[in-house]
Amino acid sequence: MNRWLRAFWALLTLSLLVLPAALLPNSALVAGNPANPALDKTKVGPDTPYIVLGMGCFWGAEKRMQALAGVLDVEAGYAGGDIANPGYETLHDTEAAIQQGQAITNHAEVVKVYFGPQQTTLERVLIQFWESHNPTQGNRQGNDTGSNYRSAVFYRTDEERQLAEKTRTIYQGNLKTAGIAEAITTQIAPLKNYTAAEDYHQDYLQNNPLGYCGLGGTGVAYTDPASGINPHTPLTGKNATTEPNWQNSQLNATEQLIVFESVECGYCRLFDKEVLSNWKNPIPIVATNATTPPNGWTLAQPLFATPTIVLFRNKQEVSRYTGYQGAAAFWQWVNG
């Protein structure tokens, strides 16, 4: 995410959180705390296995990986770049230097995923990784652009490298079967210059329930019958409404509302409960975890947070409502 947009969203979050508690929804529902009883930082020791993964903005990546059963802790950080001991601003300054032609490798925003080997496996962690973001986008993830948002697996052993490459090959086949022709662009490289991110980035979406929820995921499940891993619903799926499957949705080209959501967004679930479940407005509405509208439909500006409800007329965006502060405010926008 553009650092100024992210800063704006963080400031908006802080300003809203000072409202009286009575005006805010149930905090546990909004935050969407991961339902993973294994999460426990105190169980992480010097010999606890971990893998470092890049999957776009680490706020959403952290929450997605925390949801996997058997994961003990997830730490936001930076890795893979040339500069030792980077900070958040280092990545954006380095990316600007790259755009000006400087020959330097930037760090990626990453998550360091600790897991209990008796509760889960590295393969399962990698499956969660592949399903929880779009690994085909190069130096981008959703609307976050730059090499600092690249998809990456940073390994420490040859065994980790081989498993990363094996699961990449399998998931590439899954994407092809689902009609997604783009090649996976994930960097698989030795771990280099890992640095933990600043404290305010840790557990960000749990501590800031109105924070930015990154869009992501292809909606395609990882399937490997040879390993006994069968089709299932990936965490990022919502009726498989990714771009190749828009034709399965009943859309009204004359006037249509589309709700762009993401699985780790607590406010999306609240919107679904308070608004979508009681929808009686004549304007048709559909919710999706896709990051782009249907082919031939045009957004007026990029999406940068969820939920974002976009009103299309004649396949062109005419208005949008970003975030969710209760049904009354939303209906005021719809009827305004």
**Residues annotated catalytic, as ranges:** 57
Cβ–Cβ under 8 Å, residues 65 and 119: no
User: Which of 164, 68, 69, 50 lies closest to 112, judged by CA?
Assistant: 50
DSSP E strand stretches across the chain = 50-55, 71-79, 108-115, 140-141, 144-145, 151-155, 187-190, 195-196, 255-260, 285-288, 308-313, 316-322
Closest CA to 124 of 68, 188, 64: 68
- Residue 52 CB coordination number (10 Å): 23
- 178 three-state secondary structure: coil
- Distance separating alpha carbons of residues 206 and 13, to the nearest angstrom: 12
Residue closest to 131 by CA, chosen among 254, 9, 224, 19: 224
Structure tokens at 152: 């990456």
Q: What Å distances lie between residue 298 and 149, 318, 323, CA to CA? A: 24, 10, 20
Concatenating the DSSP letter of every residue in 312-331 gives EETTEEEEEEES-S-HHHHH
Neighbours of 172 (CB within 10 A): 18
Structure tokens at 233: 């619903």
